[in-house]
A and B are shown apart, each in its own frame.
Chain A
Amino acid sequence: MTGSAPLIGIVGSGIAGLRAANALLKCGVDARIVILGDEAHRTYSRPGLTKKRYPPPDGIEAATEGLKVPGVENTALTWHLDTRVETADLRDRVLRLSTGDTLAYDRLVIASGVRPRTSAEGDRECAVHAHRTLRGLDDARSIHQELQKSKKVTIAGAGFVACELASLAKEYGCEVVMLEALRHGPFERILGTTTARSLRSWIARNGVTFLTGDAARNMLCDGAGRLAKDASGSKDAYLEPASDRSLYIEAIGSVPNVEWLRGNGLDLSDGVRVDEYMRVSECEDVFAAGDIARYPDPWTSESHTRMEFWKNAIDTGDLAGKSLASSLGYDAKISRIKYFPNMVTEVFGLRIQIAGNPKISDSMEIVRGDLERPDHGVVVKYLREGAMVGAAYLDRGARLNSLYIELLTALRAR
């Protein structure tokens, strides 16, 4: 270790990185804590980016004010923003930065998150569409601005970000088309086909053209202004360049930001693999947290999981910070991750709550309500070998909320 106070490098200025830093401070660790982030902004609320329209008069600045997270002003931390970590040498403990500098660390936290997946690499602009993805504050600013001007929006994907964007675009008065070639409707991979179909018709009832299968496939743009091959594999059809380029937003999943870690012998197959204390097994002085961390799934003993949720980033960030403190000999109460997945979104006024891990279920059971009328309230249980592993709740108000919370209490105590 160099000198007396060690240097702790945290790569990623998102919530997981910030929470790891805060946990270190809470444990009273005497160290220099450096947070490196390639965005120009300190930590902000990422979920807040798609939850509300930016009101025109005060506009963007007022909206940004609402995204503040506690702890970002902390002067005990050193922030290197607008700085990308290009490569890491985990053996010699050196980071090579986009500024040309290097940074030698004693302990490292990997919290570099994920970025949107895109169907085409490189320059994604085409003559027909203005192509966009949404991850950061800067993306959100430009998308909100364009939605205010845009008349037509095409959204590829039907996950949380896609659905929230569709809802937002309608509020801004746009004409919206959603394309989901692989599945029948929103969140199918998590909630199954029946629920996905119900959500799809809810979205359609709210004026969105929701296309699936070949109909969707034929309208997907590969970024070259070319329609993707149709199912028969026949020749590509080219779109005519349009004079008013409509907005085309891809929200089709994400890719972990692991490239800078290559060459160090880590398992980077889907994020960074850690143990139940967020320690990277191959390197005892490295930890990982947030969207990028793949940890032993508390819900199924045999596998590892990666979660892309705000609270998961908080919980794993805290734990990584504590584990690191403990590795330096500080007294930090660490206990293995026992994260309770719990998520909510609102799509056209319909509240959608999901908890536990419905993905691993083998059957479902309607506890109350009717999936044909989700706006009147439906509570669904997801089971695996007869035992509850997840639950979902759809409603316009919150009439069945107490019933849902009862279920969750049982699920949590599992």
Chain B
Amino acid sequence: MKIFVDQVKCQNHGLCAISSPDHFELDADGELRYQESFDEENIDEIEDAIDSCPLQAIALNRDSA
């Protein structure tokens, strides 16, 4: 399972980075950087990040390994 952020929807608001700072962060220009892979044990944090995004830009791609 991998994290996927829709760059067209994302407005770099950074709420995901507050929910899950280990997987999402904003760089100095305010652009979102994120890690696609994560450990299953962090799933709650990731789901919290997905819910936090007011633009609904984050999804989990269940098909990718």
Which residues of chain A have a CB within 8 Å of any CB of chain B? 45, 47-48, 51-52, 66-70, 310-311, 314-315, 342, 344, 346, 351, 353, 355, 395-399, 401-402, 405, 408-409
A398 near B12 with CB under 8 A, answer yes
- CB-CB contacts below 8 Å: B23-46 with A: 25-31
- B58 CB to closest chain A CB (Å) equals 10
Closest 3 CB pairs of A and B: A47-B54, A398-B26, A398-B30
Which residues of chain B have a CB within 8 Å of any CB of chain A? 8-9, 11-15, 17-18, 21, 25-31, 51-52, 54-56, 59
Contact of A346 among B13, B31, B52 (CB under 8 A): B13
**Contact A355/B18 with A48-B56, A51-B55, A310-B54 known, Cβ cut-off 8 Å:** yes
In the bound complex, how far is the Cα of B54 from the Cα of A69, in angstroms? 10
List of B residues within 8 angstroms of A353 by Cβ = 14
**Contact A344/B21 with A45-B56, A310-B54 known, Cβ cut-off 8 Å:** no
In the bound complex, how far is the Cα of B11 from the Cα of A340, in angstroms? 21
A311 near B25 with CB under 8 A, answer no
| 13 additional A-B residue pairs with CB within 8 Å, beyond A45-B56, A311-B54, A398-B29 | A66-B9, A70-B59, A344-B14, A346-B13, A351-B12, A351-B13, A397-B29, A398-B27, A399-B28, A401-B26, A402-B25, A408-B18, A409-B21
B28 near A344 with CB under 8 A, answer no
Give the residue name and chain of the A residue nearest to B28 (CB).
A399
A396 near B18 with CB under 8 A, answer no
Give the residue name and chain of the B residue nearest to A311 (CB).
B52
List of B residues within 8 angstroms of A397 by Cβ = 28-30
- A25 CB to closest chain B CB (Å) equals 16
B51 near A48 with CB under 8 A, answer no
List of B residues within 8 angstroms of A314 by Cβ = 51
B55 near A45 with CB under 8 A, answer yes
A69 near B56 with CB under 8 A, answer yes
Contact of B54 among A48, A68, A355, A408 (CB under 8 A): A48
List of A residues within 8 angstroms of B30 by Cβ = 351, 395-398, 401
Contact of A405 among B17, B31, B56 (CB under 8 A): B17
In the bound complex, how far is the Cα of B11 from the Cα of A382, in angstroms? 26
Give the residue name and chain of the A residue nearest to B13 (CB).
A344
List of B residues within 8 angstroms of A401 by Cβ = 14, 17, 25-26, 30
Give the residue name and chain of the B residue nearest to A351 (CB).
B30
A68 near B56 with CB under 8 A, answer yes
In the bound complex, how far is the Cα of B31 from the Cα of A314, in angstroms? 26
List of B residues within 8 angstroms of A315 by Cβ = 51
List of A residues within 8 angstroms of B26 by Cβ = 398, 401
In the bound complex, how far is the Cα of B21 from the Cα of A284, in angstroms? 39
Most chain-B CB neighbours within 10 Å: which of A68, A69, A310? A310
List of A residues within 8 angstroms of B59 by Cβ = 70
B28 near A311 with CB under 8 A, answer no
**Contact A344/B17 with A45-B54, A66-B9, A395-B30 known, Cβ cut-off 8 Å:** no
List of B residues within 8 angstroms of A67 by Cβ = 56
Give the residue name and chain of the A residue nearest to B31 (CB).
A398
- B39 CB to closest chain A CB (Å) equals 20
List of A residues within 8 angstroms of B17 by Cβ = 401, 405
A51 near B15 with CB under 8 A, answer no
- B6 CB to closest chain A CB (Å) equals 9
